Each structure stands twice: as C-alpha cells, then as structure tokens.
Amino acid sequence: MPEIELGVPKGVVESLPDEDGTAERDMRRAIAGIQSRLNEEIDGGDPSEAAEVVADAVERMEAQASTYHEFVPELRAWGQSPIYAVAWRNLYVELIGQLYDHDWLAEELDRERNFRLVDDGIRLSDL
C-alpha cells in the first residue's frame, strides 16, 4: 500500500501575509506531523483498515476547520484580521481533499465515512 503524501497548498501559502514565514513553517510542520502519524498507523494494513484511521483524521480536520471558521466573525468583531484563521481553515479543508486524491484510499474512505453516518443513526431522510 502506498504512503500518504500531503503538502501545503500553494493558494493557502499565498494567502498569508509576507512576514517572517512563521505561519508557513508552522503549517508545514503540522502537515508533516499529520502525514507521519497517518503513515505510521496504516503501515502494512489493508485499505479498509487504513480508511478507518484516515476517517478519524478527517473528522479531526473537519473539527479544526470548523473551529477556525468560527473564529473569523469573532476576530472581525474585535477589529482583528482573520487571515490566519482563514488560512488554517482552508489548509484543513485542502488536506481533506488531498486525502481523497489518493486513488487507493478514496473509495474505502467514502465507504467508512458513510458507514459511520449510518452507524450514528443519521439517515439520508433525516437530512
């Protein structure tokens, strides 16, 4: 099974103000950590087991993106720039997309996430 490869999307980096590059370094460090943890946990497993691990990571990334999204109006209300909150939100959304770009994983990941929706008692008729 191939390893998961993630990177900082160019659009996210370009949205950051040109300062000392700290935010970009932090993003690269965060992505490297996510990538290495995922690859360690799925090493030698089959795609369905990998999908379970990646689905957990996707749920954490969705929660992080949601948290940063909630910061945006609050920062604006306080007269602060929300650029970093927007960049981190977009980063997590882009990382989720990058995970789905792995052909060997995408179908199993969809299957696992759909299973979790049904297992939690959420039905399409409830939406």
Task: Tell me the per-residue pLDDT of 27-75, one tens digit each, with 9 for 90 and over.
Answer: 999 999 999 999 999 987 788 888 899 999 999 999 999 999 999 999 9
Reported as a single tens digit per residue, the pLDDT across 101-127 is 998 888 888 888 888 877 666 555 655
The structure's pTM equals 0.86
- Give Cα 43 to chain centroid, integer Å: 20
65 and 30 Cβ atoms separated by less than 8 Å: no
Distance CA 116, CA 55 (A): 9
